Structure 1
């Protein structure tokens, strides 16, 4: 596998990162405003998952090692 993403792949990863950051911001903001405990739990789980997804997407942009 090559060391670098193609231009279109890089742009798609940036688009996904933008979307995931928006989702993370919305979930974390709404979890503070939510009054229902079950909804707070769902939003909290979404925040945790969103953070993990963002870390994984960032690895595509920062990991330049050759993968086999």
Structure 2
């Protein structure tokens, strides 16, 4: 069976998505410590909790991508 890979442009887009998602999650995690509103704090915690599997999925997809030089 033929192995599926990504085009170089798709690989770069995956990198961009992974970077964006990681930055967003890091920001949410850092803001949890300085936010006093409980609703906002709950939203930030939910964002972090949901971001972790999304980041893992993106990393898994990048594992299938060809190595760029």
Bin the TM-score by the shorter chain.
0.7 to 0.9
Structure 1 unaligned spans of 5+: none
Cα-Cα RMSD: 1.6
Structure 2 unaligned spans of 5+: none
Q: Give the 4+ runs in structure 1 shifted more than 3 A.
A: none
Separation in structure 1 between the aligned mates of residue 16 and residue 3 of structure 2, nearest angstrom: 21
TM norm structure 1: 0.84
Greater share of helix? 1
TM norm structure 2: 0.83
